Chains A and B, each alone.
Chain A
Amino acid sequence: MNISYQLPMAADSNSTDILAIANSPFLWVCAIGVFLVIVVQSVIYMKAASKAAPHIGMTPQELKTSFRAGAISAIGPSLAVVMVAVALLTIFGTPAVLVRIGLIGSVSYETAAAAIAAKTAGAELGGPTYTQAVFGLALAAMSLGGAMWMIATLVLTPLLKKGDSALRKVNPAIMMVVPGAAMVAAFMVLGIGELPKSWIHVVAFLSSAGIMAILMVIANKVKRPWIKEWALGIAIILSLAITYFATRL
């Protein structure tokens, strides 16, 4: 396999050097665009909030304290996301990781989406069949999937705000059972589907699942919620290290 990730080359559908295309300037422009949009949105929201606050008996100090509390509480979770994001940089390239995993989406959905998309093209995520064209297809699928969440939000929020009780009360029992089951099934079948490929795939899957399970038990035992935040990143990095040593055996 030829990984010349440092030298950007022209697009080549069959090349597995996906970073040449994944780090292209236009993708960076789009990623920075999403960053700036969130900055602008936050500024507009803060201004609107400070304007409304005094009228409902809220002091500017209370608003400032809220902003600061939100900022401080986000430090841990943000760094935990950073850790996961860095692990995926060689799969999706920096701009796509920033937008899809860091912002709009999350590592679980986006990795699953990319794997499902690659499958429809008869390829695999990250392997020798993961060419520039497959990366393009995967990014298109991830972005369209993420767009559906945003479109659902844009369509449903005004309806819910109007107090559309029919929508609000769509059988809560179904809402409790079906999405959760669908989500677990999607991740489960994608993970189990990797197992027949080689014993190293088995090591990768089981070590990651095992580390996660141990961390979850510890987090509940010692009542330290931050362990849950960091668990995903720790499990991914540690099991990648274990897998790396397994390939050396």
Chain B
Amino acid sequence: MIQATEMHQALGAFDKTTSRWGRITMIIGLIFSLSAPAYLVFFAGLDIEIAGIFAAFGALAAVFGVIWIVEPLTYFPILGASSMYQAFMIGNISNKLLPAAMIAQATIGVKPGTRKGELSSVAAICGAATVHLISLFIFVGLLGTWLVSVIPADIIQTVQLYILPTVMGAVVVQAIVSQKAPRAAIIALAVSIIVVLIAKLYTPFGLFSTAVAVIATATLAWFLRDKKTLGTPEDTTNEELPEGPVY
């Protein structure tokens, strides 16, 4: 029989270590990730204005600000505190880390939400991170860099010119499918067409077009939501989460 107090202490120590070192490593990761652009802005001799960065950041915040806050809130009940610091640094949470954690828990037959389940998912995420770092390093860092150096210039030019419509075409379909919200998708399509047309007629509007489209769609989607399934806050349970953002 395991003593309850002993168990409590052991888990307390685990929580303490992971939340302490989880935070420290995440802050160091944050510093590394910000150092790269800081170097380009301040030391590389490029002509980049700070005001321009604020403008770009403002435009981003208008588009993704809500998601910055909501994603950690969405994933916390699934991941648990300790894995939060792993997941938001390793990335690809919904398509890689969550399945890894679920498969690990199923393999050793523990339930998510239990303490055994939490340790199992921490180990699974460590395993997933190991594989991910190795494959990124070999196939992107080494092979990818070499591949780019041998690809003919006209192909590179095509990729550079048309990457945005290519990525967005696939991503928008993926987002629609994973969100399972056809109504929001139709609203987004209608709003986007109107916004793009206005930007075409009145060029200065183009600067705000993304933010306007996002805010208008979110507002309309809320007021035009299916009130039967998403009626009042009280009768909506958080049990059935969407497949999750593509983050």
A98 close to B136 (CB less than 8 A): yes
List the A residue with the shortest CB-CB distance to B180: A180
Selected contact of A37 from candidates B28, B64, B74, B153, CB within 8 Å: B28
The contact of A140 among B56, B59, B247, by CB within 8 Å, is: B56
B145 touches A188 (CB 8 A): no
B181 with A174: CB separation less than 8 A:
no
Give the one of B132, B137, B169 with max A CB within 10 A: B169
Within 8 A of A (CB), among B179-213: 179, 181, 184-185, 187-189, 191-193, 195-196, 199-200, 206-207, 209-210, 213
B13 to chain A, nearest CB (A): 7
Looking at chain B, what size class is its interface with the partner chain?
A: 35 or more
- Contact for A66 among B32, B108, B151, CB less than 8 A: B108
Q: Are B128 and A161 in contact (CB under 8 A)?
A: no
- Which residue of chain A lies nearest to B114 when distances are taken between CB atoms in the complex? A56
Number of interface residues of A (CB under 8 A): 173
Given A182-B218, A188-B189, A240 contacting B162 (CB threshold 8 A) = yes
A122–chain B nearest beta-carbon distance, Å: 8
* Contact A208–B169 (Cβ < 8 Å): yes
CA of A123 to CA of B230, assembled, Å: 40
Given A34-B33, A42-B126, A52-B119, decide whether A81 and B132 contact each other with a Cβ distance below 8 A.
yes
Contact B36 A89 (CB under 8 A): no
Q: Known contacts A109-B64, A116-B63, A157-B85: does B48 contact A38 (CB below 8 Å)?
A: no
Q: Interface code B24-53, partner A: CB below 8 Å = 1, 0 otherwise?
A: 011111101111111111001111100011
Contact, CB under 8 Å: A3 / B157: yes
Tell me, in angstroms, the Cα distance from A75 to B70 when the chains sit together.
28
In the complex, the answer to whether A106 meets B2 with C-beta atoms within 8 Å is: no
Given the interface pairs A26-B36, A184-B184, the reply to whether A56 lies near B10 with Cβ below 8 Å is yes
B171 to nearest A CB, angstroms?
4
Q: A153-B72, A157-B84 are in contact. Are A94 and B126 (CB under 8 A)?
A: no
A224 within 8 A of B: no
Identify 27 residue pairs between A and B in the complex whose beta-carbon atoms are under 8 Å apart, listed by A's number: A5-B149, A38-B25, A55-B7, A56-B7, A58-B116, A70-B124, A73-B104, A74-B127, A78-B128, A98-B136, A117-B60, A120-B207, A127-B160, A140-B37, A141-B53, A145-B64, A150-B29, A151-B30, A157-B19, A179-B71, A185-B216, A186-B214, A191-B164, A193-B196, A204-B169, A208-B165, A212-B173
Closest 3 pairs (CB-CB, A-B): A70-B124, A208-B169, A55-B10
